[in-house]
Each structure stands twice: as structure tokens, then as C-alpha cells.
Structure 1
Amino acid sequence: MSQLRDPAHRVSPRARTLWQLEAAAEATFTIAVGVVAALFWLPGGALRWALVGLLVLVCAGLATIVPLWRYQVHRWEVSPTAVYTQRGWWARERRIAPMSRVQTVDFAQGPLARLFGLATVTVTTASAAGPLQIDGLDQAVALSLVDELTRKADLVEGDAT
């Protein structure tokens, strides 16, 4: 029995930096809320500051490690007959969608992603599992991928249902 291999292409290395920045912003917000909560709802003393310190350590660790882990996992590939994605950091998800099931191909770029020259391609399929999403692509790669997938899906007979 053969094992399913990882898709061939990694996302852009700049995605690590973007994900680290996003994770740092989330961690900062979480720490700020934790400090305010500790000041108003926890009794004073060493326990309060020990819990705040633990929160800071956990948030800093997650903001540092998760984007790197996510970069190692996120991959994608397009063959003549299918789109193959792998994503996740805690729970890994591998999805393969035949071209005959592709309904729409979308390009999205938030303001922060635009600053980093990155984009997301979303492939909507006739599947109850939802769309396939490839985050952290170089903008030029994403635009080329949208064109390629649109052409390939258009060549397949049927109505993608």
C-alpha cells in the first residue's frame, strides 16, 4: 500500500513573516486582555503575576512556533486532473479535488497580504467538505494559478456537480 505524498509546492517564504506578524498581533491582544482581566478579577500578589507570566510565555511561544510549523505543512499542487492541497498546523488536512468538480476559482488579498505581495487562492468545488484554500502564495504565482485552474476546469466536460 503506498502512502499519499506531500504536494509538490510550498507557499511563499514571506508567508512565514506574515503569519508571525498576525500571530504576534493576536498574542498582544490576548496578553492585553489577560492583564486587564488579571488586574480586575484575580486577587493581588504573586499568583496574579505568575498567571500573567504564563500567559505571556504561552502566547509568545505560539506566536513564534505556529507560523513556522504552518509553513512546513502548507503545500499545494495542480496536476492535469486535480488540485491537491495540504494545510493546518495542529490538525493536518489533505484535500484532492478533481478538475471536474471545480466550480469557481477565487483570488483574494487582504491589506496586510498585499503589503507582503501575497495572496490566497480559493477553489470552490461541488463538495460538502467546502472549498480548498491555498494561503500565502506569491501574488504572481496566485494570479498564474487562477488562470491555470480556470483554463483546466473549463476544458473538463460536465457541470461540476
Structure 2
Amino acid sequence: MDTPTLRSPQHRVSRTAVWYWAARAALGWLVLLAAQVVWLVADGDGDAWPVATHVTALVVTAVVAVAHVTVMPQWRYRVHRWEATSAAVFTQSGWFKQEWRIAPVSRIQTVDSERGPLEQIFRLANVTVTTASAAGPIKVSGLDRDTAQRLVADLTATAQATAGDAT
């Protein structure tokens, strides 16, 4: 078995992850925008200066929100990758702060799959590979459900067939 080296993994996450990331970001921005609208209405006592300040803040927030919801998901999709071989699991993730991780199969302790409510709507799942690493588990986020199920099954079978103490 070859020793795994740090490299870009082969597989991209599901293209649907772009829509999921955009929706999740949009929900966060909508909460902030709603709070600003409530503040504007509650503080709208007729004075032009506070109203203009609130409206300016609202417009700036909306522009930043649109930019974030448009750019971030595409950027993340270009960066996020994963691969599982008989030797290791490789991941690459992030958008501003990018991270590359390798987990040798012999160190795998558990393999889990999870789907939150929004991920279920988009038919996506995440796979978490827990090892004895102090850096924490490796997460492969944004996989379609079938791919996630296959990855969990393959990693579990490979880890069971691999000699090692997983520590």
C-alpha cells in the first residue's frame, strides 16, 4: 500500500450543493434584513437623518447579501473535493480559508452520514470520518444521498478489511 500524499482529491461534491449553500446563506441574510426592516419601522419617528441612515444600512446589507449568495456557493463548489482510496480519504474544503486533509484508512474509527432539514430538501448528505487525529474528524459535505450511502458503505468495508488499530 502506497503512503498517501497531500494532493487535490478527484471528485467534486454534488452540483446541487451550490443551491443548498446559496439557500442557507440567503436564510441568514434574510434574518438580518428582516431585523433591519423592523428597526427602521420601529425607529421611523419622522426624522430624516435616522431614516436615511437605516435605509442606507439596509441597502448596503442587501448588496453584500446578494454578492455573498451569488459568489460564495460557486467558489465553494470549485474548491470542495473528496476522494476515498484503499489507502486514505482525501478532502479539500473551504472558500476563504481552505483546508486539505488526509485520513489513512487504517486510522478510521467511525464513518457516519447525516442530513439536516435543509439538506434533506436538496437531497444532500454529509459523511463524517472520525479518526484518532487531534485535528478532528474529516467531513465530506454536499454529497448527493446515493453517493453518501455508497461512500459510507465502501469506507466501512475498507476500514474493516484494513489492518491497523485505528488510533
Whether TM exceeds 0.5 here: the answer is yes
Per mean C-alpha deviation after superposition, the further-off stretch among 46-55 and 123-132 is 46-55
Look up the SS of the partner of 1:47 in the other structure: helix
Matches within 5 A, 1:1-161: 4-38=6-40, 44-161=50-167
Q: TM-score, normalised by structure 1?
A: 0.90
| Displacement after TM superposition at 1:49 (Å) | 1.3
| Displacement after TM superposition at 1:40 (Å) | 5.3
- Match of 1:18, as an amino acid? Y
| Displacement after TM superposition at 1:38 (Å) | 4.9
Contact 1:31–1:59 (CA under 8 A) maintained in structure 2 = no
| Relative contact order, higher structure (CA 8 A, sep 6+) | 2
Structure 2 CA distance, aligned partners of 1:94 and 1:149? Answer: 19
Contact 1:100–1:156 (CA under 8 A) maintained in structure 2 = yes
- Match of 1:156, as an amino acid? T
Structure 2 CA distance, aligned partners of 1:4 and 1:146? Answer: 22
How many residues are treated as equivalent by the alignment? 159
Cα separation, partners in 2 of 1:41 and 1:96, compared to 1, 3 Å: farther
The gaps in structure 2 that reach 5 residues or longer are: none
Q: TM-score, normalised by structure 2?
A: 0.87
Contact 1:34–1:55 (CA under 8 A) maintained in structure 2 = no
Contact 1:6–1:86 (CA under 8 A) maintained in structure 2 = yes
The gaps in structure 1 that reach 5 residues or longer are: none
- Match of 1:123, as an amino acid? V
Contact 1:8–1:76 (CA under 8 A) maintained in structure 2 = yes
| Displacement after TM superposition at 1:72 (Å) | 1.0
Identical positions, percent: 46
- Match of 2:134, as an amino acid? A
